[in-house]
Amino acid sequence: MPSTDKFTGWVGLDAESVKGNLVKTTFSPKEFTDDDIDIKISHCGMCASDLHTLRSGWGVTNYPVVVGHEIIGTVTRKGKNVKYEIGDRVGVGAQCYSCLKPDCYDCTHDNEPTCPDRVFTYDACYPSGDVAYGGYAEEGRYPASFAFKIPEELPSEIAAPMMCGGITVYSPLRRNGCGPGKVVGIVGIGGLGHFGLLFAKALGAEEVYAISRSKAKEADVLAMGANGIIATNEAGWAAKNSRKFDLIVSTANSPDMPLNDYTKILKPGGRFVQVGLPEEPIPQFYFGPLVQSNISIGGSLLGARCEIEEMLALAASQGIKSWVTVYPMSEVNTVLGLMEDNKARYRFVLEN
């Protein structure tokens, strides 16, 4: 049973909403339980997933939907089991619930994103049947177990995009050995990709490269600490970089990515991890280079709760700064258009 409370947000009513047709109106949040918090949302980052969902790109979305899963806000109400205090500043990412039961293999092994009962922050339902609503809104209601205290050193607009964009690359970097002695490549320098460069550096990778469709972002990636940029529109780029990388994390979100060539620039034994989620299957893939060089290819979804805390602490201690442009939440429909046109450098953040 949804609550009778009314929150105000920017609601997508159909697939046309992605064209900047969100409607400011009220919605009924989940029923409030002893484990929940209400937050007054100050900031929400704009992730490419918001657009995939608004346009029903990954399958038919359950409208009405409130997207946004890079949420920062202050606690205004708390259930009696909640450790946070009223006024605490917390962040909520792309997952807002998992079972956390002692007999759940995933939840007891720092794999909450793959818990069979996981709930995403929007276009999803809680086990009770209540709908989960995201952060393009003035208020939000979430289980406190998936809200994270934001370190004082991190301004809200800097922390917001880390809640999804940051953790989605931090987790596979951490789990696949990014660190001293390792050469790491990041495919696609958008919101997730720019965090890939920043966090690979912060984790102590020997060398970090941007793998981008052109050299247009070269000055930016060097300023982010990358050792260089590889442009995939230049003839011979794969041959020139053969056997260079221990690890590649790919944020590319279009099916026409040159996947076969990406695997050719890995060292023998190297790993390729895809986090970008194109709406269509990739056209063709050859196993040859994988088999002949013992290469692994895989995927990764979000990150564990302990990794989110670790990432936030690392960002605070190293002074990591997300590259953001802040817009008033009231301009969300304009900002959707800018995001669709690939104008983000590198994350748009909406502010109430």
Q: Where does this chain bind Zn ion (CB under 5 A)?
A: 47, 49, 94, 164
Which one of the spans 16-24, 119-127, 147-155, 161-169 is the region binding ligand NDP (CB under 6 A)? Answer: 161-169
204 token code pair: 């102590």
Find the binding residues for ligand NDP in span 234-273 (CB under 6 A).
251-254, 256-257
Question: Nearer to ligand NDP by C-beta: 40 or 213?
Answer: 213
Question: Nearer to ligand NDP by C-beta: 98 or 212?
Answer: 212
Residue 195 CA, distance from chain mean position: 10
Question: Nearer to ligand NDP by C-beta: 134 or 188?
Answer: 188
| 154 is an interface residue for ligand NDP by CB under 6 A | no
Here's the x/- map for ligand NDP, 17-56, by CB under 6 A: it reads as ------------------------------xxx--x----
The distance of closest approach from Cβ of residue 69 to Zn ion in the complex, given in angstroms and rounded to an integer, is 5
* CA proximity to 323, closest of 227, 251, 218, 221: 221
Q: Name which of ligand NDP, Zn ion, none residue 140 binds, using a CB cut-off of 5 to 8 Å depending on partner kind.
A: none
Question: Nearer to ligand NDP by C-beta: 18 or 75?
Answer: 18
Q: Name which of Zn ion, ligand NDP, none residue 251 binds, using a CB cut-off of 5 to 8 Å depending on partner kind.
A: ligand NDP
The distance of closest approach from Cβ of residue 48 to ligand NDP in the complex, given in angstroms and rounded to an integer, is 3
Distance, in Å, from the CA atom of 190 to the CA atom of 195, rounded to the nearest integer, reads: 9
Distance, in Å, from the CA atom of 94 to the CA atom of 97, rounded to the nearest integer, reads: 10
The distance of closest approach from Cβ of residue 349 to Zn ion in the complex, given in angstroms and rounded to an integer, is 13
* CA proximity to 123, closest of 68, 165, 61: 61
Enumerate binding residues for ligand NDP (CB under 6 A): 47-49, 52, 94, 164-165, 168, 188-193, 212-213, 217, 251-254, 256-257, 275-277, 300-302, 344
